Amino acid sequence: MTWGQVCQAAAQLEYADEDAVRDFFESNFMPWMLRNADGSGTGLITGYYEPKLHGSRTPSPRYRYPIYGVPDDLLIIDLASIHPELKHMRLRGRLEGRRVVPYYSRAEIEHGHAPQGKELFWVDDPIGLFFLHVQGSGRIELPDGTLVKVGYADQNGHPYRSIGRRLIDMGELSPDEVSLQSIRQWARAHPERIGELLSANPSYVFFRELPDRYPGPVGALGVPLTAGYSLAVDRAFIPLGAPVYLSTSWPNEQQHPLNRLMIAQDTGGAIRGSIRADFFWGFGEQAGRLAGSMKQPGSLWLLLPKGMDPNRLYPTGQRP
């Protein structure tokens, strides 16, 4: 069975009929449990969400921190046509004379190499802006109360480095204490050290303003995400658009299972590995609380059309 045949069968479904939907998945898919290199079947499940920031289209003493669009000098180098095994890897850089060199890091962008003229908005909270970079999308509340959506457009090519891990290494927080909320609390208590902390992550995200018609943020698959059912994955192991069965627990509640059929619709700089996923919680404060505290062990089953050999998806030998 091919993906095309499965999609044709899905088009005939009456989505209000739960029994028909269950029969569709049981009849057309085979679950493959994902495993780590050592054969174990458990990995890390975290959460992300769509934050709200307060901002303006023009700078002011309150709104001082810019959200940038894609710089004109950012190069994207795609080697897939020469090396097919690199089809999911794109290099970012810039020209320096005749040489392609790495694009500017976060610290360099914030200290002299900002893309002038590419400011989309200015916001009032540097930590909130940093978390917007981490989440990849959000909404900006303008002074008149209007909400506008921004989404991921590109990235500077530098690897993501966790500032939570940085705070652990600095002895400021213990591993059990690290969450979105605890990082915010640390930043409020140490405003003079925020720049030092954020520079520990060289990755920098550029954004685009999204049309009002989009019901939610747009993931790497190019369609709006659905709160509670969209999953960010490492597409070296899970193809975008594939159904994935998730078995984990609710944030901070190991005794309350969270077992759900999800769709792989997104990726993330910190999402690397076969059993590594980010659960999209939606928009707002409650979603932020759940996402910020989610660090759960979990397992994943990739659903492939019956008869499809998973080895075809993993030319390097990695497979469920």
In a domain, 41, yes or no: yes
pLDDT class of 9 with cuts at 50, 70, 90: confident
Mean pLDDT of 167-193: 90
Q: Tens digit of pLDDT for each residue in 228-257?
A: 999 999 988 999 999 999 999 999 777 789
- Of residues 269 and 191, which shows the higher confidence score? 191
pLDDT(317) > 50: no
Mean pLDDT of 98-115: 94
pLDDT at residue 89, rounded to an integer: 66
pLDDT at residue 315, rounded to an integer: 45
* Structural domain that includes position 253: 3-161+201-313
Give dist(CA 249, CA 260) in Å, integer.
Answer: 10
- Of residues 294 and 90, which shows the higher confidence score? 294
Mean pLDDT of 188-201: 90
Mean pLDDT of 142-165: 93
pLDDT(262) > 70: yes
Mean pLDDT of 16-24: 85
Q: Tens digit of pLDDT for each residue in 68-102?
A: 999 999 998 877 666 666 566 678 999 999 999 99
In a domain, 320, yes or no: no
pLDDT at residue 314, rounded to an integer: 56
pLDDT at residue 16, rounded to an integer: 67
Q: Look up residue 276 and give its two tokens.
A: 């590594």
Give dist(CA 122, CA 63) in Å, integer.
Answer: 5
Q: What is the pTM of this model?
A: 0.82
In Å, how far are 8, 207, 294 from 46, measured between CA atoms? 33, 23, 5
Instruction: Please list, in sequence order, all residues whose beta carbon lies within 8 angstroms of the beta carbon of residue 189, skipping any fewer than 6 positions away.
Output: none
Give dist(CA 104, CA 114) in Å, integer.
Answer: 9
The answer to whether 217 touches 50, Cβ cutoff 8 Å, is yes
The answer to whether 227 touches 215, Cβ cutoff 8 Å, is no
In a domain, 59, yes or no: yes
Q: Look up residue 219 and give its two tokens.
A: 């993931």
In a domain, 191, yes or no: no
**CATH code at position 115:** 2.40.40.10
- Domains of the chain: total: 1
For the chain, give the percent of residues with pLDDT over 70.
Answer: 93
Q: What is the 3-state secondary structure (H, E, C) of the chain?
A: CCHHHHHHHHCCCCCCCHHHHHHHHHHHEEEEECCCCCCCCCEEEEEEEECEEEEECCCCCCCCEEEECCCCCCEEEECCCCCHHHCCCEEEEEEECCEEEECCCHHHHHCCCCCCCCEEEEECCHHHHHHHHHHCEEEEECCCCCEEEEEEEEECCCCCCCHHHHHHHCCCCCCCCCCHHHHHHHHHHCHHHHHHHHCCCCCCEEEEEECCCCCCCECCCCCECCCCCEEECCCCCCCCCCEEEEEEEECCEEEEEEEEEEEEEECCCCCCCCCEEEEEEEECHHHHHHHHCCEEEEEEEEEEECCCCHHHHCCCCCCC
In a domain, 217, yes or no: yes
pLDDT at residue 284, rounded to an integer: 87
In a domain, 125, yes or no: yes
In a domain, 83, yes or no: yes
pLDDT(203) > 90: yes
pLDDT(66) > 90: yes
Mean pLDDT of 175-197: 89
pLDDT at residue 277, rounded to an integer: 97
